[in-house]
Chains A and B, each alone.
Chain A
């Protein structure tokens, strides 16, 4: 084990620990400024006055920020066909035409990076999502904690399966320089079903 492993593992510690230690959460302790109550009240009044003057003089910074950030482009491009998505992403993707309960597909791509196919039911709810992206990083985007996590080897490829009880909610693997993921969070699949699906995605 290297120190890098510990640094990486630290990254996923409990949210509560991260929040409590966040910068600015703890007021600076400087005992020289601990004075009598009257002086403290006076200081508070001064701070409040400065706050009021500042707010009156300055336009809302958050609104300014919001305006600036709204210009940020959405990297996902909606595509009408898989072929169009392949052209945008710069690689091919093979997926099943439909899955159980799906009535339509939503296809999105990120230029030279990623394709995702979302299988939806009649009401537009996601049943299944399949992703393929360049590189080897986990592309599932799923940061949930599951009760079970196993790694299954199929044709020399390690497939990580995560889920609760006896079902699988997410599968991810890498092959030939691409990262793949199948998400079935709302409609988890049996392990056998998920592995059958994995074989169909290329």
Chain B
């Protein structure tokens, strides 16, 4: 076999694997829709490492990360059969990320005033009119749409580095290693992209 043929075979195999992945995701989703408990174990077999990477990146504590991943399976069970996600990894990865951020926020809040501040704030919330989680979500969605448009308009390399930092919360050192860049280069790129995002959001009237 020539070198070219060898690489062609690898490339074809890669494409087949991508196809298989799609099929497997669909099968797992079907299991959720059939309310089969094996849906959870199949999800864990395929994506546990990915979910752990996301959770640990945010929480930086093994126990919390494990708990967060387990909660992801519970949320997956709740989310299907309502949804039929095409990309199970990102669909559930978003859930893992939100759960991990919730944990961080709750821990930070507990630290302030041994939890009493949180309780008092919750009690005082009842005195405030208007803004509730529904309205906040609508605003959040508009912001996400603006960020999507911004990300679409910047070079792929900058976008990947930005998403890696602010979606996966990966350390700068790790991003630098994976992208073959110096850490200062990554920091500079992130700073420029943040400035561009700020300008874009101002232009869109979001800031």
- Chain A contact residues, CB within 8 Å of chain B: 1, 4-15, 17-24, 26, 28-31, 37, 41, 62, 65-66, 69-70, 72, 74-76, 110, 114, 126, 129, 131, 136-144, 149, 151, 158-160, 170, 172-174, 183, 185
Contacts and interface: CB of A to CB of B under 8 A. Distances in A.
B77 A13 contact: no
* Central interface residue in A4, A41, A151, by most chain B CB within 10 Å: A151
Given A8-B101, A20-B156, A23-B53, A160 B140 contact: no
The A contact surface, by secondary structure, is mixed
Given A10-B147, A69-B41, A149-B138, A75 B180 contact: no
A62 B86 CA distance: 23
Interface of B: 3, 37-38, 40-42, 44-45, 48, 50, 53, 70, 73-75, 77-83, 85-87, 89-91, 93-94, 97-98, 101, 105, 132-135, 137-141, 143-144, 147-148, 151, 156, 159-161, 163-164, 166-168, 170, 174, 177-180, 206-207
Given A11-B94, A141-B83, A17 B132 contact: no
Given A14-B148, A185-B82, 10 more contacts: A1-B143, A13-B151, A15-B90, A17-B148, A24-B178, A65-B45, A72-B40, A141-B80, A143-B94, A144-B83
Nearest to B163: A21
Nearest to B156: A20
A149 B93 contact: no
Contact of B82 (A5, A62, A129, A159): A129
Given A18-B90, A21-B168, A149-B141, A1 B206 contact: yes
B163 A18 contact: yes
A9 B134 CA distance: 14
B134 A151 contact: yes
What are the 10 tightest A-B residue pairs by CB atom distance, in nearest-first order? A29-B180, A21-B163, A9-B143, A69-B44, A141-B79, A15-B90, A69-B41, A21-B160, A160-B134, A141-B78
A183 B38 CA distance: 24
B185 to A, nearest CB: 12
B77 to A, nearest CB: 6
B88 to A, nearest CB: 10
A8 B40 CA distance: 26
B127 to A, nearest CB: 13
Nearest to A158: B134
Contact of B83 (A19, A62, A143): A143
A158 B135 contact: yes
Contacts of A141: 75, 78-80, 82-83
8 contacts: A13-B163, A66-B44, A70-B38, A72-B40, A114-B78, A141-B79, A142-B83, A143-B85
